[in-house]
Chains A and B, each alone.
Chain A
Amino acid sequence: DIQMTQSPASLSASLGETISIECRASEDIYSNLAWYQQKSGKSPQLLIYAANRLQDGVPSRFSGSGSGTQYSLKISGMQPEDEGDYFCLQGSKFPFTFGSGTKLEIK
Chain B
Amino acid sequence: EVQLQESGPGLVKPSQSLSLTCSVTGYSITSNYWGWIRKFPGNKMEWMGYISYSGSTSYNPSLKSRISITRDTSKNQFFLQLNSVTTEDTATYYCAKKKLTGSWYFDFWGPGTMVTVSS
CA distance A1 to B63 in the complex (A): 13
If A50-B103, A92-B103 touch, whether A44 touches B47 (CB-CB below 8 Å) is no
Q: 1/0 per residue A58-85: CB within 8 Å of B?
A: 0000000000000000000000000001
Asked if A32 CB lies within 8 Å of chain B CBs, one says yes
Which residue of chain B lies nearest to A89 when distances are taken between CB atoms in the complex?
Answer: B105
Partner of B47 from the list A42, A49, A97 (CB cut-off 8 Å) is A97
Asked if A55 CB lies within 8 Å of chain B CBs, one says yes
Ordered by A's residue number, 30 sampled pairs between the chains whose C-beta atoms are within 8 Å are A1-B62, A34-B105, A42-B111, A43-B109, A43-B110, A43-B111, A44-B109, A46-B107, A49-B99, A49-B103, A49-B107, A50-B102, A55-B107, A87-B45, A89-B104, A91-B102, A91-B104, A91-B105, A92-B103, A92-B104, A95-B47, A95-B62, A96-B47, A96-B104, A97-B47, A98-B46, A98-B47, A100-B43, A100-B44, A101-B45
A interface vs B, CB < 8 Å? Answer: 1, 32, 34, 41-44, 46, 49-50, 53, 55, 85, 87, 89, 91-92, 94-98, 100-101
